[in-house]
Structure 1
Amino acid sequence: MSSPIERTGTTQRWSDTVTHNQTVYLCEVPEDPKADIAGQTLNVLGLLEARLKEAGSSKSRILSCTIFITDRAHIAKFNELWDAWVPEGCAPVRACVVADLLNPDWKVEIQMTAAVA
């Protein structure tokens, strides 16, 4: 028997989260595209933390993360905020990509995978 797939916030184009086999997949973009890199980063991390909690996970259970950032000049500020957000000893596998995001005002987008408790 196959494991169920659970989706939240599903639209025709995406779901807020997809959970399968005790693993949750999620992605977030900034709510305020006019904010600076610090504001957008803190917003996205907060949204991700809330989604993780809703899915029965937490930031200490993140397995992997892909960060899309629009400007190399923003990586130092992003890393400062990321390092303060990730619990010590719980850093996930991570990739950071310089990318041209769909909304030209977005400075960061984060996709992650986490274990569900």
Structure 2
Amino acid sequence: MQIQRHGTTGRFSDSVVHNGTVYLVEVAANLDGDAAAQTANLLASVERLLAQAGSDKSRLLMVTIYLSDMADYEAMNAVWDAWLPPGCAPARACLQARLAKPEYRVEMVLTAALA
């Protein structure tokens, strides 16, 4: 089966498509804001990457959310809840982790079905 990689660098790909599934990991491009702002920025990028791969946010299967501080849980969830279409909630985990850069407040690992 063919593997399609989009936005590939020497270290990572923006998304990978295989066997009817798209995989991506995303952080905010704009790190100036709080957790809510970073979540909104990150989800806008996720939406673009999903569309590029032939999917959308209603087809999310599994999401793992990493927060640098669980104190940001409610702020992140407020943005997440407004972004996610009703009745389309994926399986999801959320945990606190030390992220790659101190400026990162939110990182998400997402798996979605292709349309």
Same structural fold, with TM-score higher than 0.5 when normalized by the shorter chain: yes
Give the number of aligned pairs. Answer: 115
Q: Which runs of 5 or more residues in structure 2 are unaligned?
A: none
Q: Equivalents in 2 of 1:35, 1:84: separation in Å? A: 18
**1:86 aligned residue (84, 87, 103):** 84
Aligned to 2:66: 68
Aligned to 1:99: 97
Shift of 1:34: 2.1
Q: Which runs of 5 or more residues in structure 1 are unaligned?
A: none
Identity %: 50
**SS of corresponding position for 2:37:** helix
Moved >4 Å (runs of 4+): none
Whichever residue aligns with residue 113 of structure 2, its letter is: A
Per-residue CA deviations over 1:30-73 (Å, capped at 9, x if unaligned) read 11222111110100000001000100000000000000001111
Contact 2:70 2:95 in 1 (8 A): no
Whichever residue aligns with residue 29 of structure 2, its letter is: E
Alignment TM-score, normalising by the size of structure 1: 0.96
Aligned to 2:25: 27
**1:36 aligned residue (31, 34, 37):** 34
